[in-house]
Amino acid sequence: MSEFAAENVLEFIKEHIGPHFYNQAIKDAEDIMNQVMLSAEENLHALKKLIEK
C-alpha cells in the first residue's frame, strides 16, 4: 500500500469510523460513572442511623 493510499485510509477512518468509537467510549464511561454513583448512594444510605420516636 502506498503512503498516499495509507493516508487516505487513515483519514477515512478518522472522519467516518473514529467518532463511533469515541462516542461508544463516552457511553461506556457514563455507564461506569452511573454505577459508581449508585454504589456511593447505596453506601451513604447504609450509614444512616435509625431515629427512634
Q: Which residues contact 14 (CB under 8 A, 6 or more apart)?
A: none
Q: What is the pLDDT of residues 23-40, one digit of tens each?
A: 999 999 999 999 999 999
At 4, the pLDDT band (50, 70, 90 cuts) reads confident
For residue 33, give Cα distances in angstroms to 9, 36, 44, 53: 34, 5, 16, 37
Q: pTM higher than 0.75 for the full model?
A: no
Give first-to-last CA distance, the chain, whole Å.
79
Q: Is residue 47 classed exposed, middle or buried when 0-12, 13-18 and 19+ CB atoms within 10 A define those classes?
A: exposed
pLDDT value for 1: 78
